[in-house]
Amino acid sequence: KKKARESCSLPEPSWEERLANAVTPLWRLPYQEQLQVKYESQRKILQTLASRLEELGIGAQKPGGLCCPLQPVVPSPTINGYRNKSTFSVNRGPDGNPKTVGLYVGTGRERNIVCVKANHMQNIPSKHNQVAQCYEEFICRSPLDSCILFHEGGHWRELVVRTTSGGHTMAIITFHPQQLGQEALATQKALLKEFFTCGPGAVCALTSLYFQESTMTRCSHEQSPYQLLHGAPHIFEELLGLKFRISPDAFFQVNTAGAEVLYQAVGELCQATGDTVLLDICCGTGTIGLSLAHRVSKVIGVEVVEKAIEDAEWNAAFNGISNCEFHSGKAEAVLPQLLASWEDARPLVAVVNPSRAGLHYRVVRAIRNCRSIRRLLYISCKPEGEAMRNFLELCCPPDPRKKLAGEPFAPVLAIPFDMFPHTVHCELVLLFTR
């Protein structure tokens, strides 16, 4: 590549272009072409699934070698600046400034990481960049170093910015305490609060300012509590006519307008009737279940993040929804208990929306072994990853050795939703029935 570049005398791409190419590789393409690229990638995933199912002796391939019909990619209503959550890192910039706040180009393995400001990124709203710029100004004034490698010391780390369509802005700053005592920590928190309320950072008009002391790359509220330095403890979003409360670490689809389209489609695919029970696995703040609650007799939500369950319960109460119950805990611990003794005669439809890690095997097993579940919607942001393992576990023949006694599912329809314009990613909804 380097020789080709030299022979053509092409200029080296700027750092801004390198970042855009890394994070939003489709940014140069017209939007309709982006959708076509994504359709082709989803088609290949379904072809792979069809081949894997054939190896297990299951089902016949559909036209095009697919495991089930694939609909066109549903476009995002918002194409630019759609992200309601951005995570900014602190590291050395192209100019060598170790307190640059931006996104990474390069990898840790190659030891060539450079932190580039994200002002030009098409998927990030200007408000997020404004908060990032103010945070950089604050840490550049601070005598404390940035924490680039934990063992080398330093303190200032990540910034997460969350915004809502109603104009609320939450900033969460991660700080490595190293050997600092409580008094020194209190001083830093006071300086941060002053900067964002009375100083240059006041221009951000933050609704909430949070601070988290963390000695790990990722840290939950239970491991190290989010400390509210200023403003309201939550921000609020409206979705499909409902109001949702969002905590610092609660999951919420990153594209709010796209989420509305996705959840409406999920409602249609559920084919729920007035006596249906909806099982919402990995329910986050309850957005899917609550948006469909008016169509069903009952919603049961399961979620590992305790704060998200608190939000879900508040959301249900605030919106006057009384037919929902939410369970906090790992799905693999909660779900088998819920379903093992299931004797409700009402039809049971499951919606699962796991992280990239997919569903735990015990969750799949509990779903398979519950005869009442005839219809399952699997929403995956990375269907070519661990979700593929789940698809095969759902569809494989009964296996007594793996305690998979239940009748297998079969994929019957796939619909991709473009929740992430300019990137290669899609949210794929796969409908399984049995």
Query: What's the pLDDT score for residue 319?
Result: 97
Q: What is the mean pLDDT of residues 132-151?
A: 93
Range of the domain at 272: 255-433
Does position 391 have pLDDT exceeding 90, yes or no? Answer: yes
Q: What is the mean pLDDT of residues 359-369?
A: 88
Q: What is the pLDDT of residues 301-323, one digit of tens each?
A: 999 888 889 989 999 999 999 99
Q: What is the mean pLDDT of residues 16-39?
A: 97
Q: Is residue 57 one of the residues assigned to a domain? A: no
**DSSP collapsed to 3 states, 76-139:** CCCCCCCECEEEEEEECCCCCCCCEEEEEECCCCCCCCEEECCCCCCCCCHHHHHHHHHHHHHH
Q: Ramachandran region of residue 57, left (φ > 0), alpha (ψ -120 to 50) or beta?
A: left
Query: What residues does 326 pair with on adjacent strands?
Result: 301
State whether 348 and 202 are in the same domain.
Answer: no
88 close to 100: Cβ distance less than 8 angstroms = no
Q: Which of 48-62, 162-176, 224-238, 280-294 has the lowest mean pLDDT?
A: 48-62
427 close to 416: Cβ distance less than 8 angstroms = yes
Q: Is 307 exposed, middle or buried (0-12, 13-18, 19+ CB in 10 A)?
A: buried
The CA distance from 263 to 380, in Å, is 13
227 close to 214: Cβ distance less than 8 angstroms = no
State whether 263 and 331 are in the same domain.
Answer: yes
Query: What's the pLDDT score for residue 8?
Result: 56
The CA distance from 335 to 352, in Å, is 12
Does position 12 have pLDDT exceeding 70, yes or no? Answer: yes
State whether 159 and 213 are in the same domain.
Answer: yes
Check whether 253 is labelled as a binding-site residue: yes
Higher pLDDT, 4 or 271: 271
- Please identify, among 177, 206, 235, the residue that sits at the C-terminal boundary of a domain: 235
Query: What's the pLDDT score for residue 335?
Result: 87
pLDDT band of residue 395 (cuts 50, 70, 90) is very high
Query: What's the pLDDT score for residue 7?
Result: 52
Query: What's the pLDDT score for residue 250?
Result: 83
- Please identify, among 178, 206, 235, the residue that sits at the C-terminal boundary of a domain: 235
State whether 405 and 264 are in the same domain.
Answer: yes
Find the helix packing angle between 386-395 and 31-55, rounded to 10°. 50
DSSP assignments along 140-196, one per residue: HHSSSPB-SSGGG---EEEEEEEE-TTS-EEEEEEE--TT--HHHHHHHHHHHHHHH
Question: Domain of 264: which CATH number?
Answer: 3.40.50.150
Q: Is residue 371 one of the residues assigned to a domain? A: yes
Question: Domain of 114: which CATH number?
Answer: 2.40.50
Q: Which residue has the tokens 């590549």?
A: 1
C-alpha distances out from residue 387 to 199, 315, 365, Å: 47, 29, 14
Does position 207 have pLDDT exceeding 90, yes or no? Answer: yes
State whether 356 and 281 are in the same domain.
Answer: yes
What is the number of domains present in the chain? 2
What is the token pair recorded at 145? 């170093």
Query: What's the pLDDT score for residue 353?
Result: 92
Does position 92 have pLDDT exceeding 80, yes or no? Answer: yes
pLDDT band of residue 399 (cuts 50, 70, 90) is confident
State whether 127 and 229 are in the same domain.
Answer: yes
Q: Is 57 exposed, middle or buried (0-12, 13-18, 19+ CB in 10 A)?
A: exposed
Total count of residues recorded for the chain: 434
Q: Is residue 330 one of the residues assigned to a domain? A: yes
The CA distance from 194 to 86, in Å, is 23
pLDDT band of residue 9 (cuts 50, 70, 90) is low
Query: What's the pLDDT score for residue 346?
Result: 86
pLDDT band of residue 60 (cuts 50, 70, 90) is low
The CA distance from 368 to 374, in Å, is 9
State whether 342 and 228 are in the same domain.
Answer: no
State whether 405 and 309 are in the same domain.
Answer: yes
Return the exposure string of 371-397: e unless at least 16 CB atoms fall within 10 Å of the residue's CB, then b. ebbebbbbbbbbbeeebbebbbbbbbe
Q: Is residue 247 one of the residues assigned to a domain? A: no
Q: Is residue 250 one of the residues assigned to a domain? A: no
What is the token pair recorded at 431? 């409908």
- Please identify, among 171, 203, 235, the residue that sits at the C-terminal boundary of a domain: 235
Q: What is the mean pLDDT of residues 74-96?
A: 97
Q: Is residue 415 one of the residues assigned to a domain? A: yes
C-alpha distances out from residue 148 to 123, 180, 231, 314, 368, Å: 26, 17, 29, 38, 45
Q: Is residue 74 one of the residues assigned to a domain? A: no
DSSP assignments along 343-375, one per residue: ---S-EEEEE---TT---HHHHHHHHH-TTEEE
- Average model confidence (pLDDT) for the chain? 91
What is the token pair recorded at 412? 């019957």
State whether 216 and 304 are in the same domain.
Answer: no
pLDDT band of residue 74 (cuts 50, 70, 90) is very high
Q: Is residue 304 one of the residues assigned to a domain? A: yes
**How would you list the strands of the sheet with 277-281, edge to edge?**
324-328, 298-303, 277-281, 348-352, 373-380, 427-433, 410-417
Check whether 353 is labelled as a binding-site residue: yes
State whether 365 and 312 are in the same domain.
Answer: yes
Does position 1 have pLDDT exceeding 60, yes or no? Answer: no
State whether 199 and 302 are in the same domain.
Answer: no
Say which of 115, 270, 282, 381 is annotated catalytic. 381
Query: What's the pLDDT score for residue 306?
Result: 85
Q: What is the pLDDT of residues 113-138, one digit of tens each?
A: 899 999 999 999 999 999 999 999 99
Does position 396 have pLDDT exceeding 80, yes or no? Answer: yes
> Could you give the 3-state DSSP secondary structure of residue 422?
coil
State whether 297 and 421 are in the same domain.
Answer: yes
Q: Which residue has the tokens 């942001």?
A: 381
Does position 4 have pLDDT exceeding 60, yes or no? Answer: no
Active site (annotated) includes residue 147:
no
Check whether 264 is labelled as a binding-site residue: no
Q: Is 178 exposed, middle or buried (0-12, 13-18, 19+ CB in 10 A)?
A: middle
Query: What's the pLDDT score for residue 222?
Result: 67
C-alpha distances out from residue 401 to 170, 337, 359, 365, 386, Å: 49, 20, 20, 12, 21
Percent of the chain with pLDDT over 70: 96
